[in-house]
Amino acid sequence: MKTILFCLIIGILISLYSCKKYPKNREPQVSDRDVEVSKKLRDFQHLLLYKTTYTMALEEADWYIEGLLNLEKAYNYHDFINLQFSKDSIDLLISNDSISGDQIELAYEYFLNILETIEINQGNLNFGFDIIDIYSIETGLKDGSVMMYMESAFGDELTCNYVPFNVDDYWYWGWNMGKCNGYQGSGDAADRLEYKFNHPVILGQAGFYTSNVTFTALPWEYDDFSNSTPWGDFMMFCYDLATPPIEEPCLSPNELNFYLSKFDYIKEDKRPPDKTFKVVDVGEDIVLGTEIRLHFYDLTYGIFTLEPPEE
């Protein structure tokens, strides 16, 4: 149930008209459901301000605290580099699976102060929070205590970590079909994305990698309903050719730049905690038995060292 609530609230908060800035040319699309959820969160905020007496179910409190923190502090578009993660907790008391208003206020202020401290310590104008998750676990102690946890992801809001595609960079999705929309060139969109992913604006230190491992990222692992491209609601290219018009997908510069902006999030998500990103291979494929065209990323990570490995 917690997972369902989290996915629902993040999906809605992506399109809410919060105080956070939105990417250029990507205004939020506000639905009636968005407005309804926003009103609930603002009403909850008023409860906190006016110190009224109330109780609510613990899971409901998790939902409200998480929603308001995301609405006030988070960006929710996943356009970040140098992504970092933080986990904090507070010990609270409950009674009959319900939590009192004073305990809710205590938790909200505690987590809000942590987020503001993180933000102040960064000293970076590009700093922002991506996603904030709240969940509670009962301790099993006789005093009825629970541990409420906050997990936050934060980093530098992405401006241009990769050389963007030019105005004439219209590429067929794969199969070495070359450029499209009247332009000429060899290769395909998968090739061009792979080159740019492996040649960022800010180059890492030269060295060696040992104990290499490779993980595959697939489009349906990375939903992004802010995706304004015609190719599906993912951070990676994926399109069903059975949907008219029936022609091989031609990706525009804006669409390719969208996939560029999502790569660092995917790269960090797949990274094992003890390893460093090394290289990515961008492949193209068709889902067996369908007309779905897609890109997949084979991401290789290793233990980075300045010294060459011993023979």
Task: List the beta bridge partners of residue 311.
Answer: none
Q: How far apart are CA 253 and CA 111, in angstroms?
A: 40
Dump the DSSP string for the chain. -HHHHHHHHHHHHTTS--SS---TT------HHHHHHHHHHHHHHHHHHHT---EEEHHHHHHHHHHHHHHHHB--S--EEEEEEEEEEEEEE-BTTEEEHHHHHHHHHHHHHHHHHHHHHH--TTEEEEEEEEEEEE---TT-EEEEEEEEEEEEEPS-SSPPPPTT--EESSTT--B-TT---SS-HHHHHHHHHHS-SSPPPP-EEEEEEEEEE-GGGSB-TT--STT-SBSS-EEETTSSS-S--EE-HHHHHHHHHHHHHHHHHH--TT-EEEEEEEEEEE-TTS-EEEEEEEEEEEEEESSPPP-
Q: Report how far residue 39's alpha carbon sits from residue 27's, in angstroms, rounded to the nearest whole number.
A: 20
Please report the pLDDT score of residue 232 as a whole number.
82
257-304 pLDDT tens trace:
889 989 988 999 999 989 999 999 999 998 888 889 999 999 999 999
Dihedral of the alpha carbons of 191, 194, 195, 201, in degrees to the nearest 10: 150
Residue 67 scores a pLDDT above 90: yes
Predicted local distance difference test score (pLDDT) of residue 242: 82
Mean pLDDT throughout 133-162? 83
Residue 292 in contact with residue 248, Cβ under 8 Å? Answer: no
Provide the residue ranges of all domains of the chain, joining segments of one domain with +: 2-157, 171-305
- Greatest mean pLDDT among 4-13, 110-119, 140-149 lies in 110-119
User: Bridge partners of 305?
Assistant: 208
Counting beta carbons within 10 angstroms of the beta carbon of residue 263, is it exposed (0 to 12), middle (13 to 18) or buried (19 or more)? Answer: buried
Check residue 79 and give its pLDDT.
Answer: 64
pLDDT at 154 over 70: yes
Supply the pLDDT for residue 32: 66
Asked if 77 and 128 touch (Cβ cutoff 8 Å), the reply is no
182 has a pLDDT exceeding 60: yes
pTM reported for the whole predicted model = 0.52
Q: What percent of the chain has pLDDT over 70?
A: 82
Residue 185 has pLDDT above 50, yes or no: yes
Cα–Cα distance, 130 to 240 (Å, whole number): 30
For residue 5, is pLDDT > 50? no
Q: How far apart are alpha carbons 190 and 173 in whole angstroms? A: 6
What pLDDT score does 38 carry?
84
29-66 pLDDT per residue, tens: 445 676 788 889 989 998 888 767 889 999 999 999 99
pLDDT digits 0-9 by tens, 195-237: 999 998 777 778 899 999 999 999 999 988 767 778 888 999 9
Distance of CA 286 to the CA centre of its chain: 26
Does 311 have pLDDT greater than 70? no
